[in-house]
Structures are given as structure tokens and as C-alpha cells.
Amino acid sequence: MVRRSVALLGATGSVGTQALDVLRREPERFELVAISSGTQLEGLAEIAREFSVARVGIARASDAPAMAALLEPGVEVVTGEDGLSELAASADIVINAVVGFAGLPVTMAALSAGKRLALANKESLIAAAPLVAAVRDTPGAQILPIDSEHCAIHQCLASSSAPGHPDVRRLILTASGGPFRGWSRERLRSATRADALVHPTWSMGPKITIDSSTLMNKGLEVLEASALFSVEVGRVTVVVHPQSIVHSMVEYVDGSVIAQLSRPDMRLPIAYCLGLPERLDHAWGALDFASGLSLTFETPDREAFPALGLAYDAAARGGAAPAWLSAANEVAVAACLEERLAWSDIVPVVAEVMARYVDDPLASLADLVENDAAARRLAAASVTKRS
């Protein structure tokens, strides 16, 4: 058995914590050689000691002395965007669990170095889809999605081998509906940040939990699915499935539908991305079909949850529009989490920013950075006005 090296970037977050659980159970298959976190220095040091990690990355250079003091002698500390990029090129498998646009350097560096990228950072792919596409053809480069929905699609597409999947009628992403499923637009005006952070089926980080409550998460996943699987966005649809047992489906042109089912457990898609082409024998998502399993499906209420429509509109405009959508949403969600913006104002802030977007084909990384900054400035101004 060949032991593969792993870089886990975003190690102290929700996905990172669950990835560590998978790695603990497979010490003969995988060696954790590099980890990173933004500002969680003590938590990062604990992981480094447990796994004898050789390289550690943090966000701020000013924190480097404090980080080094927490580590064993000889452990290398790298900082900032360049440091993350170094770590992303240092292992056979790179898990990108960095939150938000900050994960883009990891995605680009891993693919440019011909690595397997286990991707939990949807924002970087959505914002920079044309740029990521340019480096996906690097020999050895591979993207495997950690999101449960996209991991499910990856498995369901095993029956389709032609480029562009002409034998596929549509990709069907499932959504739990979040904590506000069934709420009317009027009732949603009274929704609070605390209400939004209580997800009915998944345990996730605060940013993605808020995104799930607005259905922006599902809108971003529509864009991600189109980019990941080279399928036009019009062939990606969403259904609400409150049990979160069917993680997504693929409908073929002959009417066949292939679905991936399991209990909600992020360790399953993480293990799938690490182990492919083998499956790791831990059965985290095993189902008991004798226990009266019930599966129901609903159409999303796009009037009450307009974020989904904003995502389809951004896809239709193309270019830098998805980058604006992702950036504006990041700013609005951060403001909500910091209690500077009401939950009910998150999507209106994003809609206000998108109304100011002027078509841009997104020709370079510098162009992307400029567009991202412009959308963030407009979103910040909108938040200030509303608060």
C-alpha cells in the first residue's frame, strides 16, 4: 500500500475537523504533512503535535513568532497567500477547506502543481471558474468535490463518460430547505441570526449554515456544479429534500435517475475524495432500510428565497458576475454573523450589488481581484446604509 501525503488547509474549521477524523483512522494510507488555519493558533498547534506535521501555515506574518513558540522545534511556519500556495503544492492530496475567496490561491496552486484537489471551498471555483478551467488540464491535476451534493453527482456520473455528458438530461441538487423551510416571505422578515444558525440536519461552520438558511448555498452550488462537471447551468436544477438522505441525483436522457443516498455525515465525501479509486471501509453514512425510511421532495420557494434566482441570473450573465455574487454574499453574511446586519437584509444587500454589475469577461487573475474588491466595496456600503 502506497502512503499518500496530505495537506489540510483550513484544518481547524468544520470540514477540517472531520477530515482529521478520517485521517486518524487511516494512518497507514495517509500522512498529514501540512496544515493551515487563519488565526486559531493553539488549535493548529494541537493538530501539528498529534500528527507530527512538518509545515504549518497561518494568515498573518505578525503571528509567526507566537505560532513557532507553540510548535515543536523544526516545524516550519509559513504565512499569507504565498505560504498557503506553497503548502498546496507540497502534498499528493490537497484538501481545500479554507473559507471564502481566500481559498482561491490554494485551488490554483494545487491544480497548477498537478495535485489531487479535494475541494470544500466552493467560492474560489465559482468566482474564478474561467481561470480554474485553464489550469485543470495540468498533468496529474484532479478536482474531487467534498460538498456532499457534488460528491454525490461525481458518483452518479460514473455511467456517463462522454465530454459534456450529452447523455445526461440534468443534474439534480438536493437542498434540506434549511431552518426556514416552509416559511412565507412575510414570516421571514422576523427571522433572526440565531434561528438561521440552527440547521435541521447538518453540523457545519457558521458561514455555510447562514448560506443554507437563505438558499444562497444552493445557488452557489448550482454554479459550482456547472463548472465542475462542464454542464450548462440550465441543466442543473434544485429540489428540496428535508431528510438529507438523497444527496443529489443525475437524470439521464432515457429517463433513468441515479441517486446517492447516505446519512448526513461529511466524513463520507471526505473519505471518498481521499481514497478514490478505492473506498475506505468505515460506513459513516450507512442506512437502515428496515427502519421505515421516508423520502420526500419539494420545489424550492423562489419567491420567499430569491437568492436562488440571483445565482441563476449570475450564471446567465457569466464573466465576473458569479464573482460579484460570491463576494457580496461573503460581506453580507459576515456582517450578519457580527450582528451588524439583520438576517433578512442579507439577500437584499446581494441583490443591490448585483444590480450595479457591468458585464466583464474576466480575462485574468488581476481582473478577478479588481472585480472582487469592487463588489465588496458596494456590499460594505450597502451594509453600512442598512445598519
The pLDDT tens digits of the residues spanning 182-238 come to: 999 999 999 999 999 987 776 677 888 999 999 999 999 999 999 999 999 999 999
Q: Which domain holds residue 221?
A: 152-317
pLDDT at 156 over 80: yes
* Per-residue model confidence (pLDDT) at position 202: 65
Within this chain, do residues 123 and 209 fall inside the same structural domain, yes or no?
Answer: no
* Per-residue model confidence (pLDDT) at position 295: 95
Inside any domain, residue 340: no
Per-residue CA distances from 140 to 112, 122, 342 (Å): 9, 21, 45
pLDDT in tens, 171-183: 999 999 989 999 9
Quick one: 357 exposed, middle or buried, by C-beta within 10 A (0-12, 13-18, 19+)?
buried
Q: What pTM did the predictor assign?
A: 0.91
* Per-residue model confidence (pLDDT) at position 60: 94
Within this chain, do residues 172 and 228 fall inside the same structural domain, yes or no?
Answer: yes
pLDDT in tens, 69-122: 999 999 999 999 999 999 999 999 999 999 888 899 999 999 999 999 999 998
Q: How confident is the model at residue 292 (pLDDT cuts 50, 70, 90)?
A: confident
Inside any domain, residue 322: no
pLDDT in tens, 229-245: 999 999 999 999 999 99
Inside any domain, residue 378: no
Within this chain, do residues 124 and 174 fall inside the same structural domain, yes or no?
Answer: no
Contact 7, 84 (CB under 8 A): no
Residue found under cell 498529534: 50
What is the DSSP secondary structure assignment for residue 362, as one 8-state letter? -
Inside any domain, residue 36: yes
Inside any domain, residue 366: no
Strands 142-145 and 168-175: unpaired
Residue-averaged pLDDT of the chain: 94
CATH code of the domain containing 133: 3.40.50.720
* Per-residue model confidence (pLDDT) at position 101: 81
* Per-residue model confidence (pLDDT) at position 203: 67
* Per-residue model confidence (pLDDT) at position 130: 86
Within this chain, do residues 138 and 164 fall inside the same structural domain, yes or no?
Answer: no
Last residue of a domain, one of 118, 145, 172: 145
Within this chain, do residues 179 and 214 fall inside the same structural domain, yes or no?
Answer: yes
Tell me the three state secondary structure of residue 93.
Answer: strand
Within this chain, do residues 133 and 161 fall inside the same structural domain, yes or no?
Answer: no
Last residue of a domain, one of 292, 317, 342: 317
Interior angle at CA 46, CA 105 and CA 48, nearest 5: 55
Contact 211, 220 (CB under 8 A): yes
Q: How confident is the model at residue 323 (pLDDT cuts 50, 70, 90)?
A: very high
pLDDT at 125 over 90: no
Contact 115, 88 (CB under 8 A): yes
Within this chain, do residues 171 and 312 fall inside the same structural domain, yes or no?
Answer: yes
Within this chain, do residues 304 and 166 fall inside the same structural domain, yes or no?
Answer: yes
Per-residue CA distances from 267 to 20, 21, 85, 202, 350 (Å): 9, 8, 25, 12, 32
Inside any domain, residue 131: yes
Within this chain, do residues 138 and 161 fall inside the same structural domain, yes or no?
Answer: no
Kindly write down the DSSP assignment for every residue of 336-354, as one continuous string: HHTTSS-GGGHHHHHHHHH
Please state the domain count of the chain: 2
Within this chain, do residues 40 and 101 fall inside the same structural domain, yes or no?
Answer: yes
Helix then strand then coil, in percent of the chain rounded to 5, is 50, 15, 35
3-state secondary structure 270-316: HHHHHHCCCCCCCCCCCCCCCCCCCCCCECCCCCCCCHHHHHHHHHH
